[in-house]
Amino acid sequence: MSRIQKTLSALKADNRQALIPFITAGDPRPGITVELMHALVKGGADVIELGVPFSDPMADGPVIQRASERALAHGVSLRDVLGMVAEFRKTDAATPVVLMGYANPVEAMGYETFAQAAVAAGVDGVLTVDLPPEEAEDCAATFKRHGIDPIFLLAPTTPVSRIQAVERLASGYVYYVSLKGVTGAATLDVASVAAKLAELQSYLSVPVGVGFGIRDPESARAVAAVADAVVIGSRLVQEVEAGEAGLATRLTEFLASVRAAMDTARR
């Protein structure tokens, strides 16, 4: 079992849901990313999604777009992000790390070269936003051969045929995008999410995490009542954008409030 699979299995056995925070690597500057990763773990993160900055982050709303712009202004590359993960691993060998980004940087490096470098750095999973399952056979096979979980997005509009394609390729977990639109969208309909999750879970053998629209402890608790994992990103990136003073502490405290709320979801 991968580090992700072990973590999610242990949580399930304890009737708890995974808390998966997202930040963009290199934002607000490269030298603070590892400190922020540790701050997320201190706040209760079970898995960390680390965004790979990209010049055209089409699935992301303005908050995460600006985070990519800030990181790219510092020249942060995919290899730099792998270096940050390797640094994080020097003092944390337990928390799974998922890289979330776009296909171009990975394809430019080459699947095999990237997979080798990712494993050496301590990466556990990769979510490539713009690589649909129909085009991901080679990529997913390469990742799995190296023990990396390929993670895919599903949306409210995803047809059954694509859900089944994802089931054939995915491991670790699947990321369900709870809203139509980009990251940071405002309104979350938990009843609709619950109905869709019931459908997805009839096809999928891997856990399902829910993201987009989760902004506070209350929405996280509501989603934790129906999902295997809660993904929270834009709200954390807003904290980063608010300024570096006290940033690590603010991330820890906010995430701890989310974790506490989630732990009441199924009591």
Provide the annotated active-site residues. Answer: 49, 60
As a whole number of Å, the end-to-end CA separation of the chain is 28
Tell how many helices (H) and how many strands (E) occur in the chain: 12, 9
Query: What is the rounded distance in angstroms from the CA atom of residue 131 to the CA atom of residue 126?
Result: 11
- Name the maximum alpha-carbon separation found in the chain: 48
Tokens of 239: 């904290």
Task: Please state, as a whole number, how many other Cβ atoms lie within 10 Å of the Cβ of residue 138.
Answer: 10
Q: How many CB atoms lie within 10 A of CB 238?
A: 16
Please enumerate in sequence order all residues whose Cβ is within 8 A of that of 135, keeping only pairs 6 or more positions apart, or say none: none
Helix (H) or strand (E) holding 210: strand 208-211
**Distance (Å, whole) CA 162 – CA 150:** 15
* 145: amino acid identity, one letter: R
Structure tokens at 225: 């009542």
